[in-house]
Structure 1
Amino acid sequence: MTSHAQGDPDRPRPRIYLAGPDVFLPDRDRIFAALKADCARLGLAGVAPIDAPLALAASASDDARAQAIYEGNVALIRESDGVVANLASFRGQEPDAGTVFEVGFAVALGLPVVGYGVPQGSYAERVQAAIACRRDAAGEVTEAATGTVVEGLGQPLNLMLSRSIDLAPTAAQALERLAGRLGAAASL
């Protein structure tokens, strides 16, 4: 689904879902406003998770609110032409679990996804810097305390993410890359 560029109702603007843990940050409104402004400059229409309409009574249960948020965000992704995802480490060594779900859902729908915010180096390097690890007899890196294998292969994230999407260093670069893939920047 596409929206239309301001002043030109005949030129569709690709809708971009702005995934990430930014919804939990105290300055989320500023973050999403900046991302949407970047989208507009590139001929895109940014849509934040907080844009999902929630028709709930003030007395709705937490369970009802959770379901409404899930359904609203899934609907926004279904209505989008692509996804830009903040995949910075969140509360640990991995990206936000909800964002990872949204990325996988978008990939399953066949939408292009570009992630950003991934630290330099490989996932295995970051884990080894944070947790005591060792190399086993086969040369595989494992957690020293548990023997759990640390995914290697030199990938910046779990291979299911790093092999299914594009990665860019910053949000602006991710949006530029997605605009190029969707042909939005060329149509301005």
Structure 2
Amino acid sequence: MPARLRLYLAGPEVFRADAAEEGVRLVALCEAAGAEGLFPLHAEGVDIRQACIDMIDAADALVANISPFRGVHMDPGTAFEIGYAEARGKPTFLWSDDPRPLTERMPPNPDGRDSDGHLIEDFGRPENLMIVPNGRPVRASAEEAIAEAVGALGFAVKNRQLQRMTRAAVAVALVVSLAAALAAGAIVNRIVGW
């Protein structure tokens, strides 16, 4: 069976009333793109945090919905998952249904601060600079982010598969060569009379 890119699907979709259906939809988008989607919907009694961590570890990359959730910022659980994935060296691909910069979502006072006196980031990004650093695009939909991930990482998965097949072929060739050498040695021993 050929190796496929495995994408962890992070986001607040797990809180929706139709979470299971949305998970099926997102996984189907991955399938259509040639990847395997890992959607973190868990049954009761499961250590959800550890189950999500295990799924991220099993994934090749993370596709995250950073749309505003319960306010102007993204879901904090998704922020954790992005940080964890990046700490593990997993590429992350982002999407949001609200691409407006933070300063448009929460317009600052003339001094650039919110009503509590806190500075509002004005980097033209739809989320905090730690989530959306320079050069990281934020796509407008899950479909676009999944396509970006498959386009960027599909070659790496195919390369991994080719490396596995090459290692297996080298191992078979080594066994065949060793068997041929032993057989040749046995024939020579018979001819020479040892």
Unaligned stretches of 5+ residues in structure 2: 159-194
Q: In structure 1, the residue corresponding to 2:70 is in which secondary structure?
A: coil
Matched, 1:167 2:138: yes
**Counterpart amino acid of residue 32 in structure 1:** G
Shift of 1:29: 1.2
**Counterpart amino acid of residue 19 in structure 1:** A
**Counterpart amino acid of residue 12 in structure 1:** A
Q: Distance in 1 between matches of 2:31 and 2:124?
A: 35
Identity of aligned residues (%): 32
Q: In structure 2, the residue corresponding to 1:73 is in which secondary structure?
A: helix
The aligned counterpart of 1:153 is 123
Shift of 1:31: 0.8
Q: In structure 1, the residue corresponding to 2:9 is in which secondary structure?
A: strand
Identify, as 1 or 2, the structure richer in helix: 2
Aligned ranges for residues 70-109 of structure 1 at < 5 Å?
70-109=49-88
RMSD of aligned residue pairs (Cα, Å)? 2.1
**Counterpart amino acid of residue 108 in structure 1:** A
CA contact (8 A) 1:19 1:85 kept: yes
**Structure of larger gyration radius:** 2
Q: Distance in 2 between matches of 1:80 and 1:120?
A: 26
**Counterpart amino acid of residue 134 in structure 1:** N
Identify, as 1 or 2, the structure richer in strand: 1
CA contact (8 A) 2:67 2:98 kept: yes
Q: Distance in 2 between matches of 1:81 and 1:14?
A: 6
Q: Structure 1: which 4+ aligned runs deviate by more than 6 Å?
A: none
Q: How high is the TM-score relative to the length of structure 1?
A: 0.77
Q: Report Cα offsets for 1:9-67 as digits up to 9, x if no partner.
A: 1x10111101111001011111111111111111100011115x77x4xxxxxxxx5xx
State how many pairs are aligned.
157
**Counterpart amino acid of residue 126 in structure 1:** R
